[in-house]
Amino acid sequence: MMGGMPLASTGFSLCFPPSPSMNTNAASPPPPRWSSSAAAMLVALATAFALSQAFRTVGAMMATPLTSHFGLTPQQLGTWAGTFHFMFGIMQLAMGVSIDMFGVRRTVLTAFPLAVAGAVLCAMAPNFHALLLGQALIGVGCAPAFLACTVFIARHFDASRFTAMSGLVMSLAGMGILFTGTPLALLIEASSWRVGYAVLAAFAVLSWLLISWRVHEPARPTDQAPAGQTERQSLRKAVRELLPLFAMPHTLGLLCFACVSYAAFITLRGLWLGPVLHDRHGLSLVASGNVALVMTVAGMISPTLFGRMDPGGARRTRWMMGCALAGTLMFGAMALTHSRAVDIGLPIIYGLLSGYSVLQYAYTKNAYPAAMTGRAMALMNMAMFLGVSLMQWTTGVAASWAVANGVEPFRAVFLTVAGMLAAGTMAFFLLPRAPARTAAQLSA
C-alpha cells in the first residue's frame, strides 16, 4: 500500500522504492549486521503507527459515551473526530521536511510526546474545548508515524524487500484499529471513555520508550556527502517543489479521488459505525465493537487482495472508479433502509472493498516521472487525510441539520458520504487522467 524512494533533488524521501535502473544495491550493499536489525527497528517504529491508527478510529466506540457526557451535537462530534485528521494532514509536509533534515528517530521522538500529552488531556478534559485541544495535539504527535515507517523502509531496505516490509508494517498498524473495536468497547463499559484515553496514552509512552531504545539510524551515503553537494531542505522549498504538480492536468482529478476514497472508510469505521448500531438498532457498545472488529479484519485483508489483483493500465482506473461507485451504493442503501442486517453486513462488505484505495498508489507511481513521484505521493497523502477531516466534519453538519429538521440523522450522514464519494469519483472520471506510461518513461 505504501512505498518510498529517496529523492535527493526534492527532499521528499518517501513513497516509492528505488527502481532497478538505479542499481543502488550494487553501489553500496547494506552491512549484514545492520540489515539483520533493521526489521526490529521497523517494528519499533510501527508501534507508533499502530497507536496513530488507534487514535484515528476511537470515535466509533467513544462517540456515544462522549455525546452522553458532554451533550455533544452531531456537528460537534464530527468536529471532534475531524480535528485529529486535520492536524495530521496539514503537518505531513512539515514532518516530511523534518525527517529529511533530522532523521526518522529525532522527528518521531520529538513529535510523539504531543500525542501522549493530547491523550492525557482528553482523559482529563473538563469540557468539549479541552477535548478538541487534546485531539489536535494527538494529530500533530501522530503526524510523522506514517511517513517514518515509509521513509525507513525506503532508506534501509533493499527494493526487493519493500513489499514484504510494507506488509509487515500495515499488519502491525492494523492491531491499533483492532484495539478500537471490541477491546475498547469492553474497556469503556467496564470503566469509562476516560480510561480508554488513559490506556492509549500509556501505550504511547511505551511506544516512545521502545523507539528511543531500539531505533538508531546509521549514516547514509547522502548524509555523508560534502555540504556543497546537497541543498538543505526547508518548508518553503518543499512547498515550492509541489507547485509543478498542479501544472499537470491529471493532478486535480487524482486529488479529488484521494480526498474521498480513504475518507469514506474512516468516516464509517472511525466515527459513525458505533452510533448507528447503538442509536438506530439498540446494540450494546460491546456488540457494536464486535461489528467494528470484523469490519477491521476485513479492511486488513483487503489491501493485500487488491495489491495481488491489480490489473494495471486503464483497467486499474476502471477498478478504482467501479469500487468507489459500489461504495456509494452501499452508503445509499444504509441511508435509505433501517435494516439491522444491512447496517451490520454492508460495513463488513465495505471493509473487504476498501482496499481499492491502495490502487491509488500504483496509479500515482505511473502518473508522474520518477523525479516527481515523491512529491506526488506526499501531496496525495495530504489530500487523503485532509479529506477525512472534511468528510467527518461535513457529516456532522449534515446530522445536526437533520436533527433540526426532523430527518433521521444517520440518513443524512450516509447520504452525505455517498454524495461526496460519488462527486470525487465523477471528478476523477471527467477530469483528465494520466496516460499509460512505459517503463522507460517512468524512469526518465
Contact of 321 with 260, CB cutoff 8 Å: no
- Greater confidence (32 vs 355) lies with 355
With 60 as the cut, is the pLDDT of residue 262 above it? yes
Distance in angstroms between the alpha carbons of the first and the last residue of the chain: 23
Among 36-50, 87-101, 235-249, the range scoring the smallest mean pLDDT is 235-249
Domains and CATH numbers, the chain: 13-18+35-216+233-238 (1.20.1250.20), 248-444 (1.20.1250.20)
- Greater confidence (376 vs 298) lies with 298
pLDDT band at 151 (very low <50, low <70, confident <90, very high): confident
The pLDDT assigned to 362 comes to 82
**Mean pLDDT along residues 310-322:** 90
Grid cell listed for 231: 541543498
User: How much is the mean pLDDT over the chain?
Assistant: 85
pTM, entire model? 0.85
The pLDDT assigned to 241 comes to 77
pLDDT band at 124 (very low <50, low <70, confident <90, very high): very high
Nearest to 15 by CA among 99, 140, 109: 99
With 70 as the cut, is the pLDDT of residue 112 above it? yes
Tell me how far CA of residue 304 lies from CA of 164, 171, 353, in angstroms: 11, 10, 11
Which tens digits make up the pLDDT trace of 174-199? 899 999 999 999 999 999 999 999 99
Burial of 333 (0-12, 13-18, 19+ CB in 10 A): middle
Nearest to 325 by CA among 435, 420, 432: 420
The pLDDT assigned to 170 comes to 79
